[in-house]
Amino acid sequence: MPNLSAKLGFGPQERLLIVHADDAGMCHSANAATIRAMTEGVVSSTSVMVPCPWFPEFAAWARDNPQMDVGIHLTLTSEWQHYRWGPVAPGDKVPGLVDDEGFLWHRVEDVATRATPDEVERECRAQIERALESGIRPTHIDSHMGTLFARPDYFAVYIRLSREYGIPAMLPRPTPDLLERADAPAGVIDRLAALESEGFLFLDRLVLSLAGDTLEQRRESLHRMLRSLEPGVTQLIVHLLQDDPEARHIAGSWRTRVVELELCIEPETRRIIEEEGIRLIGYRPLVERWPKEARA
């Protein structure tokens, strides 16, 4: 079967890379880091967390920079200890998604054992509509912390909304390596395998994170990945923060997020990409080829 590179009209031996920054909109530090990495560095795509307090700031930037590749990071969890957010839909309309304080649950497991697929659809639809109303023209949707891959009925919501709105969904090809690292139930894996015959487009490879904790370790991991990149479309996920008091107070993982920002903007990264003949892309090439249905 042709790889995604060939399906998008590139040569089948071309090596295409999406460097994707998750969690835009989460806080000001994430916004500043993401914008810097997209304008000065190698990040070629991002997705924004609509329920978060700093979503409006990033939405304004995306609206003013429509050429940028910006998707919606469908968010059903609120994972940090002291920095929380609630749903976009009214809490009484999605009771299974909120804790006793009215925030989204901390963990994917908390959502998966409480929220109905109808509640999940109501909230995801509210997030998409808010993004559209804010002037964002999303190039794709994906799932914060993979919650929409946690149950087959949640995954069905993800695919249904993608088809209805005509917005590409981040879909990784279920390779043996990914199956070993991911924790999706069998029903989701089976449905993933069937979607390609329906015209859905799959990333050839998904790199969930770089290896290591220090700048040097992650730099080595990144350089190794770039030099060994295979033909087709690979997506590398990064999480970015600038080093400031806000980041340090919110995220226990702030150090690695600061490191990933440094890697995305340092000249050596771009030099290797150019030296290897790797083409950076976003999700925009998928939009016109994505299965759509007429909306009433």
Query: Residue 272: which CATH number?
Result: 3.20.20.370
pLDDT at 296 over 70: no
Write out the two tokens for 280. Answer: 């950076």
- CB of 262 closer than 8 Å to CB of 279: no
Share of the chain above pLDDT 70, in %: 97
Residue 293 located in a structural domain = no
Half-sphere exposure of 105 (CA within 13 A, CB side): 17
Burial class (CB in 10 A: 0-12, 13-18, 19+), 140: buried
Alpha helix (H) ranges present in the chain? 4-7, 28-39, 55-64, 108-112, 117-133, 152-165, 176-181, 186-195, 215-227, 245-250, 254-265, 267-275, 284-287
In a domain, 294, yes or no: no
> What total of structural domains would you count in the chain?
1
3-state SS class at 229: coil
**pLDDT at 156 exceeding the cut of 70:** yes
The CA distance from 91 to 88, in Å, is 8
**Is residue 295 domain-resident?**
no
**99 to each of 52, 83, 119, 121, how far by Cα in Å?**
16, 14, 14, 18
Q: Is 136 domain-assigned?
A: yes
Asked if residue 27 lies in contact with residue 254, where contact means CB atoms within 8 angstroms, the answer is no
Q: How far is CA 153 from CA 116, 220, 233, 250, 284, in A?
A: 9, 39, 28, 32, 27
Query: DSSP state, 105?
Result: P
Q: Residue 156 falls within a domain, yes or no?
A: yes
98 pLDDT higher than 50: yes
Report pLDDT digits (tens) over 104-155: 999 999 999 999 999 999 999 999 999 999 999 999 999 999 999 999 999 9
User: What is the extent of the structural domain holding 88?
Assistant: 4-287
Quote the distance between the C-alpha of residue 65 and its chain's center: 19
Mean pLDDT of the 212-231 span? 97
Is 116 within a domain?
Answer: yes
Amino acid at 163: R
- Separation CA 161–CA 158 (nearest Å): 5
One-letter amino acid identity for 20?
Answer: H
**Model confidence pLDDT, tens digit, residues 36-67:** 999 999 999 999 999 999 999 999 999 999 99
